[in-house]
Amino acid sequence: MTSSTPPADYAQLQALPARVRRGDPEAPRLSVKALDLLEALVGEPERVGTSSISQLAEWQGVHASRLTRLSRALGFSGFKAFQALFRRDLTGGAFYSTRAERLLDFGETPEAQPDAAWDRALWQQEMANLSSAVEGLDARLLEGAARAVIAARRVHVVGLRASFGAAHYLAYYLDYLRRDVQLVSPQAGVDVERALDLGRDDLVIGIAFRPETRVSVDYCRLAIEQGAGLVALTNHPRSQLAGLTDCRLVAPAEGPFFFNPMSSLFMLVEMLLSRIARAMGPEAVTAIRRREALIARLHVE
């Protein structure tokens, strides 16, 4: 690959800094500062894929033109073409394998560390995710989300693939507290068109961790077009789902794990359910007792 032939995918781009440092004659020639900038960008693929050029420039403390020059030095027509590699990686089927490959390259996998050290590293990062979620939480947004759930005529909860567990958990216990809660599930024959039933008095709670499931985002987008409100639970403030609403709760999911850490997401779900129940007061207790009585009458184990 020469400077006139850009990397074909994120994996090739990821390998590029090492090739430049070892003097690969096929690699483009980059200055020390340009190479440092490339390594910083490759190290934060989610941020690069979802941020604007000005946001990335501010993050790196450089002028936006530096990013454009770097993109062209790598053979791209401009920054947008360069960024497209990151976005394809985030939405493509190779997201998790790419993450796993990076962890292997960086020596952060169980094979590179004793089991106890590896387990502790995961635990420490999850604790950091939980702390970040709480420290970054806007109490007004959480309160607004709870009030919106209580006031809505109907509530649809959508979260597919990796997010389905949290969506099911939320919908199941929310159904204890109020009527007309629908868990959106294609496995049950419920698809995007169900959002056409929603209107101005309804609410969707969308859950999507990056790489986001297109159907979940499409469902939320269509619901908004129908006039419904949206509460978003996501692991990135600049995700597609977060961009659809001002009411977004962010669950950080960082760490040396092959897939998406989910502890902070479930914690936010619990906090939302708790805030709803507290806001409902005695009405919540009455609703829970009504459900428990039904379970007892039907002898549900």
Contacts of 36 (CB under 8 A, 6+ apart): none
Q: Give the model's pLDDT for residue 27.
A: 87
pLDDT, one tens digit per residue, over 204-254 is: 999 988 677 778 888 899 899 999 999 999 887 777 788 899 999 988 776
Q: Coil, helix or strand for 3?
A: coil
Give the C-alpha distances (Å, rounded to integers) separating 90 from 10, 98, 163, 203. Answer: 10, 10, 16, 28
Say whether pLDDT at 99 is over 70.
no
Q: How far apart are CA 149 and CA 144, in angstroms?
A: 9
Of 41, 56, 31, 33, the closest CA to residue 7 belongs to: 41
Q: Give the model's pLDDT for residue 109.
A: 45
Q: How far apart are CA 222 and CA 269, in angstroms?
A: 23
Question: Residue written as tokens 């934060």?
Answer: 44
Helices 263-280 and 115-135: angle between axes, nearest 10 degrees: 40
Say whether pLDDT at 67 is over 80.
yes
Ordered domains of the chain (ranges, CATH) = 10-91 (1.10.10.10), 128-297 (3.40.50.10490)
The amino acid that residue 207 corresponds to is: I
Q: How many residues are given for the chain?
A: 301
Q: Coil, helix or strand for 209?
A: coil
Q: How far is CA 96 from the centre of its chain?
A: 13
Question: Residue written as tokens 């053979």?
Answer: 75
Which H helix or E strand runs over 194? none
What is the DSSP track for 25-91?
TTSPP--HHHHHHHHHHHT-HHHHHHS-HHHHHHHHTS-HHHHHHHHHHTT-SSHHHHHHHHHHHHH
pLDDT, one tens digit per residue, over 258-268 is: 567 778 889 99
Mean per-residue pLDDT for 188-211?
80
Please say whether the beta carbons of 256 and 229 come within 8 A.
no
> Tell me, what DSSP letter sits at residue 213?
P
pTM greater than 0.75 (yes/no) = no
pLDDT, one tens digit per residue, over 142-182 is: 999 999 999 999 999 999 887 899 999 999 999 999 999 99
Of 17, 269, 22, 47, the closest CA to residue 149 belongs to: 269
* Bridge partners, residue 229, by sequence: 203
Q: What is the C-alpha radius of gyration for the chain, rounded to an integer number of angstroms?
A: 22
